[in-house]
Amino acid sequence: MKEFEAKGIRIVAISSDEKEVLAEAQRDLALPFPLLSDADEQVIKRYGLVHAGANNGQDIARPAEILLDGQGVIRWAVFSDNLRVAPRPEDVLEAAAKW
């Protein structure tokens, strides 16, 4: 986390889950970053993160790592259909250093 903070990168997770569900997950998992609720899926849809029918036919947020600039423009992204597939932190830092 300190390496990201030193580069001015703020980590957040966005989910379509309700705030109460995310607050419980935050407590249980003791994550070092905030979990934000996008229950109406405005942000999830804006960035093309809808994983259609992935949860027993229900749409959910698609796993992704995204670097946004100060204007909300995607500068780098890795999209996945598997929550366990993610880039290494050093890959994210390397991508951020390029812009």
Full pLDDT tens readout for the chain, 99 residues = 788 888 889 999 998 889 999 999 999 999 999 999 999 999 999 999 888 888 888 888 888 999 999 899 999 999 887 778 889 999 999 999 987
Give percent above pLDDT 90 in the chain: 58
Residue 15 has a CB neighbour count (10 Å cut-off) of 18
User: Whole-model pTM?
Assistant: 0.78
d(CA 44, CA 90): 25
- Are the CB atoms for 45 and 14 separated by under 8 Å? no
